[in-house]
Structure 1
């Protein structure tokens, strides 16, 4: 018997996944319910909090498509969606059958088009749809599968029947989130998962890898790349997560180029021929030559290369036509045309407004229907007419009547409901389950589970993540324990030559380089602002002139002009300006702006970062929120202390990269960015503070904040045990090879990293970047220390030091540009396809 500790009373009259119409728990929920009851609500809530923390630490996020540079932590409800093996068997067979039928449709529409010639589908329903790409006519993948990957969204009606409400065939999302949900739930409820004998997901991904390898014309170590939209796109976390799990390089459109009849990856070592592309971008942005609306995401000439057989794309370009909801109306006739029978899994009743009879039905029953555009695009959401006010209904009807061919109407199905944790109680939530299939053998392999979305309220019908809903892990209960499978096949791994120095895409090393730079820039900026606050509240106040020089240097070093360089700047009460330099995200050069850049760069290389590094990146994000809430209110009480946690997180990020990252090229480019930025910021700080700084007869009072900002004050005191003398300070900050904050230390580190990146195949001539670094090093070595400490008799400034710092700044900026020109930028654009089969010249 079940105890009464698990209190769930369905608040609806729809089909309930846990409770039967008689009020009793369904049979396959008996054991899970006993375990949940034994846990108690307090334990469940604690595990829910643990799951949320794991998702946050893993960086599991979702970016709404209509919000730029915004991401939200993925939402997972602790209670899984559970189906019995018996019920799943029928769903699995129906999904496999549907994928086979869609594969036949895709082959036909870009081949013989018998569906149109036999009048099974009206020609207007296909040729008027943006998803039908005429440029893809005749393109065929090797083998019998033209549709490699398929996802179907399912709802259960009040009668308990599963219905298809939509198909995803271009770049179906959700498998990565399903895998993350499973990983998290296994960690927070390991015994329940183990004892319930839940079907595992790994075999599905193994079939996926096998199919992609079969597609490749190169059977020995083919290059398969995972093409994503990029950072802060809807599914950027999932793409990075799956690319890592499957073992494929994660690339964006700008990482690829068309040359000499093939698709090439622009990498650190030059161009590498791509064999297979796992496409995670839609048809509309894949190739600007065809779609003319790539928004910087696509690869010009990609369709032409695919037609010539120079690359295999999965799913194939043009498969977006299968997502048209118009096909749902004709699916029964299509099934009889190809299979000679009805489908096991029906679509939700659909009417196409381009059909005169259907349009009359839609007008007569308008208030009871769901209206959808035939082409899925950002900003085009389905609308339940019953939820609209009279003015909105009239406006929607006008749109439909103006372009009826672009709209379909569907029955407003009320989906089944399932319990979800809502505070410390269980509430009913509607659900949509997305199932996945991948081509395998002569048919399709079905993921034993899927991704279940739940609504935010009991009565909502909008059950997609765009509307802020949650998700559930989907469990299929096995009749007996399964054998653990690996995504990788050991016998094949043993035969492959391990490439430990895989040539990274140029975009990736660009992001790593700037990740290092922005991390150092944020740290140096935080240190400088903290030093300024400390000097403002010091018991040994600076003179008005030196105070002005210090505050102006904050503006100049961070680049937050006009700031303290503005006419009429307030030097008596500078706290609010310093606050704005720290916390104003929209101000270029501000600390918050640099931290945002760190997050953006990290998102672009997420697949290369360890979980610990991702946690630190999340700590930085949290630190920004903490600053925004607390810094202004703490101006009267040591505000510099509020900067310490962020500085600590940045230092931890640096330390973790030193101790945990393999000393490969990825690490070296991150380090080069950090060392180059540290050298530049040090030179800028010395230039803006010490050159115009005034002596007080006992030394350089401004040398004290410079040393504090560059984390060298304690070392200076230990070394010299004297006042703040310019020559001693420059010896430590410019020349000391043992000081990790000195300019010389940065230059020697940069030279070592460049030599390692160049490797044994470097040419006889020095590269431009190496030439700049060596020139800066020589200028420093050839400058006598006693000369740079001398003042000009007329101006009172240190002109020799100023000249040296100007030369160093020029050489460091030139080195930065040379590195970008050499490793990140590829000047040659796409070239036409040639069928000669020759490689790149």
Structure 2
């Protein structure tokens, strides 16, 4: 090997084992770069680069067999944290795929990249100002109008609007690759709503936590300063000193929803959907449980055409009616501005060098793939002549006509029929196509089958507008592919992600997003919880309690079959009562012949809407809609319980059912503990707990009606105490044995029993007393009126006279209270009308 690969000499640290240098040489010897393609590990002379030797030498120094386990740590971190993505048209999320090896760039390389991307960001902003302003470039013939208007991302309604905050773009991203000449090339511009920032952050957290010593030793530039500047830049675009910044998401079915939730949580933004917002009087407000609260800045991840169904796509359910009017009035800053996606069109790439000279007075610093737009006769003729040498691609992200292309393709790879169709389409609608040079980009090392292999990659680099000018994030979002063709790498096509390390020549100053102690005023407030989030938290609590209740019924079914001293729950009238209960709860579609079948179906039947696995999946769907509000531990437990049920297989015996049920109950207990001990006692926690208390109170009423009838047996009362988790309390309080009246009192009326109806009502009363009112006349709101009446009825009830009819009346009152809570706090939808006057437009 031409270069020194001795681990002992790298960074001045001795090798941990004599075989370290040998292992490093074996890794490098087995690595086979693609002939004629630049590689990140080896330079043009075939020598390994020093920074890669530093990185790989660290792992070679560990004992044999240990490097493989250490390389697996980043993936384990992401899996445990529940980081996921959703491929297009795929219903299920997938665990985020990460390669443990980062893309490593030297400071000199990064300075070149950073300078080129910053210039590109300035050019994009200047071009948007002209396109939606004076349109001088079109008027002077430097940019054909059809190259703009042919794009579905050109929003005519934005023309003439002065962007609130002063900019069209706040965040810009460029997809880069290293070309055959060793220079970095721009493959595409991302100006609409660039994704990947959150995933870049997730990748960095996973890799840096997995290899903390190496991360610090190699002087990797931190990301926190960039995100701090990014946040300050958004805040400076508002017209208030303490603005409310929202991240507008398409919702949980977005391919990158997990990334959006993580980014909102990390930066402290409010994650909202279109229905969470309302445009009124030239401003945009967030619907919260305390009324409408002003949204000052909206960082959008919804495409331009969908943000306002009144003026743009009237079929959109992702936006907010009147959003464009609010932008015109300057009442809200939306970034990037609607219409900015027009610059992502390939049709514009051939014009950018000349436009850079005209708008910035500079030469374009970083080249891009040579592109010819066929909307011009000379360029169309050139593309037709070189048809077999070029890649043909759509000119616009949303091409007009019936284009046969959805992505870049080589004509040589087409069938004769496809080639004929393309040529005909090219002649019928030439403006829909571009021809591009085919560039074979460089490769980087990835871990494949426990060995290093070269893989093509695309690097996405981000630039943000800050109070101090354009700032480029030191690193980025890297995607690698198993295929040699890198023209269309996306996370839905088997690609993997990698962290990006920019290494400095001296130790890097550590920084967090924590502001100085004196710069932030101390607050102790409930917070402005969006109505949708309150709704989801409410139902998350109900699903949690519903799943736990069904699990307790299943456990009671099996207990007597394997415990000699237990009541005979699995036979006779009690067994019939339990099956009836499971049927009413939707856990069984029809009665089963024996305990194992009844219990197994109640646990695992995906077609029964009330089965445990269906309820857990409903809980996961609800939790997925507010991922930014839940801890990684909570999400991991939720995923774990669903996975355990889904993989349970066939349940043969009562012992199998009981084992699975107890594991699930233990996980549910852990979830409840996290909710009670780890969530702040603000509005979000209160709605989660309100949902749980309502469901628990309803269950107490239903169980009492079923099992505490006047003719109840000892088995019925024992089962009721078991399902109500009140066995220990009853045995400690009453030594005479089971009796109907004290059991009724403990389950329904005892305010000191945490599982009783009375306790749930008192807790609900305390929650309502803390939540903000919507009217200011001092009158009780509907939820309070219903609850206070119910509390009084329960407090004055005599257990000896507590009939099934009275229990049913309590249950129905509790359901009316649930509906009143929904009507009062969960106002959603563009046309939703509040039942009370909304106040507090702050």
- State TM-score, norm by structure 1: 0.90
Correspondence 1:320 to 2:321: no
Distance apart, 1:264 and its partner CA: 0.9
Quick one: which of 820, 823, 827 aligns to 1:821? 823
CA offsets per residue over residues 681-729 of structure 1, 9 Å max, x none?
22223334555x965xxx3422333322222234333433455433232
SS in 2 for 1:99: helix
Task: Kindly indicate whether the alpha-carbon contact (under 8 Å) linking 1:534 and 1:640 is maintained by their aligned counterparts in 2.
Answer: yes
Distance 2:700 2:529 in 1: 30
Question: Which residue in the other structure is 2:586 paired with?
Answer: 559
Question: Which residue in the other structure is 2:320 paired with?
Answer: 299
CA offsets per residue over residues 501-552 of structure 1, 9 Å max, x none?
3211111122111111111111112222222233566654655444223212
Distance 1:385 1:714, change over 3 A: farther
CA offsets per residue over residues 202-221 of structure 1, 9 Å max, x none?
221122122222211112x1
Question: Which residue in the other structure is 1:748 paired with?
Answer: 762
CA offsets per residue over residues 750-796 of structure 1, 9 Å max, x none?
111111214799754322112222222233233322223xxxxxxxx
Quick one: which of 240, 255, 272 aligns to 2:293? 272
Question: Which residue in the other structure is 1:35 paired with?
Answer: 58
CA offsets per residue over residues 50-93 of structure 1, 9 Å max, x none?
2222112322221223223x222222222111111111111111
Distance apart, 1:143 and its partner CA: 6.5
CA offsets per residue over residues 649-687 of structure 1, 9 Å max, x none?
111111122122222222111111111111112222333
Distance 2:192 2:581 in 1: 53
Correspondence 1:256 to 2:256: no
Question: Which residue in the other structure is 1:432 paired with?
Answer: 458
Task: Kindly indicate whether the alpha-carbon contact (under 8 Å) linking 2:569 and 2:719 is maintained by their aligned counterparts in 1.
Answer: no
Distance 1:776 1:644 in 2: 35
Distance 1:370 1:577, change over 3 A: farther
Distance 1:722 1:543, change over 3 A: farther
Correspondence 1:703 to 2:717: yes
CA offsets per residue over residues 448-467 of structure 1, 9 Å max, x none?
11111111345665422121
Quick one: which of 358, 370, 383 aligns to 1:349? 370
Question: Which residue in the other structure is 1:791 paired with?
Answer: none
What stretches of structure 2 of length at least 5 have no aligned partner?
6-20, 400-404, 834-838
Distance apart, 1:110 and its partner CA: 0.2
Distance 1:732 1:499, change over 3 A: closer
* Aligned pairs (5 A) from 1:373-522: 373-376=394-397, 380-390=406-416, 403-441=429-467, 443-457=469-483, 462-490=488-516, 494-496=519-521, 498=523, 500-522=525-547
Distance 1:443 1:248 in 2: 22
Distance 2:524 2:387 in 1: 60
Correspondence 1:666 to 2:684: yes
Task: Kindly indicate whether the alpha-carbon contact (under 8 Å) linking 1:775 and 1:811 is maintained by their aligned counterparts in 2.
Answer: no
Task: Kindly indicate whether the alpha-carbon contact (under 8 Å) linking 1:733 and 1:743 is maintained by their aligned counterparts in 2.
Answer: yes
Quick one: which of 86, 99, 119 aligns to 2:108? 86
Distance 2:64 2:438 in 1: 35
Question: Which residue in the other structure is 1:21 paired with?
Answer: 44
Distance 2:39 2:196 in 1: 24
Correspondence 1:607 to 2:628: yes
Q: How many residue pairs end up in the alignment?
A: 806
Question: Which residue in the other structure is 1:580 paired with?
Answer: 601
Distance apart, 1:146 and its partner CA: 2.6
* Aligned pairs (5 A) from 1:723-742: 723-742=737-756
Distance 2:549 2:691 in 1: 14
CA offsets per residue over residues 571-592 of structure 1, 9 Å max, x none?
4236445433322445422222
Correspondence 1:50 to 2:73: yes
Distance 1:763 1:47, change over 3 A: farther
Distance apart, 1:436 and its partner CA: 0.7
Question: Which residue in the other structure is 1:796 paired with?
Answer: none
Distance 1:461 1:124, change over 3 A: closer
Distance 1:447 1:406 in 2: 34
SS in 1 for 2:175: strand
* Aligned pairs (5 A) from 1:206-285: 206-219=228-241, 221-285=242-306
Distance 1:254 1:500 in 2: 25
Task: Kindly indicate whether the alpha-carbon contact (under 8 Å) linking 2:596 and 2:651 is maintained by their aligned counterparts in 1.
Answer: no
Distance 1:419 1:822, change over 3 A: same
Quick one: which of 327, 333, 337 aligns to 2:358? 337
Task: Kindly indicate whether the alpha-carbon contact (under 8 Å) linking 1:385 and 1:393 is maintained by their aligned counterparts in 2.
Answer: yes
Distance apart, 1:839 and its partner CA: 9.7
Distance apart, 1:269 and its partner CA: 1.4
Question: Which residue in the other structure is 2:16 paired with?
Answer: none
Distance 1:783 1:498 in 2: 43
Question: Which residue in the other structure is 2:14 paired with?
Answer: none
- State TM-score, norm by structure 2: 0.90
Distance 1:396 1:603, change over 3 A: farther
Task: Kindly indicate whether the alpha-carbon contact (under 8 Å) linking 1:11 and 1:458 is maintained by their aligned counterparts in 2.
Answer: no
Distance 1:828 1:328 in 2: 39
Distance 1:475 1:537, change over 3 A: same
Distance apart, 1:416 and its partner CA: 0.9
Question: Which residue in the other structure is 1:792 paired with?
Answer: none
Distance apart, 1:607 and its partner CA: 2.2
Distance 1:40 1:429, change over 3 A: farther
Distance 1:815 1:174 in 2: 43
SS in 1 for 2:453: strand
Distance apart, 1:430 and its partner CA: 0.8
Distance apart, 1:497 and its partner CA: 5.2
Distance apart, 1:472 and its partner CA: 1.3
Quick one: which of 114, 120, 124 aligns to 2:142? 120
CA offsets per residue over residues 10-39 of structure 1, 9 Å max, x none?
241211001123321124434223323323
Distance 2:395 2:707 in 1: 63
SS in 2 for 1:466: coil
Question: Which residue in the other structure is 2:577 paired with?
Answer: 549
Distance 1:415 1:163 in 2: 9
Quick one: which of 535, 543, 550 aligns to 1:525? 550
Question: Which residue in the other structure is 2:170 paired with?
Answer: 148
Quick one: which of 651, 669, 673 aligns to 1:651? 669
Distance 1:24 1:542, change over 3 A: closer
Distance 1:839 1:805 in 2: 40
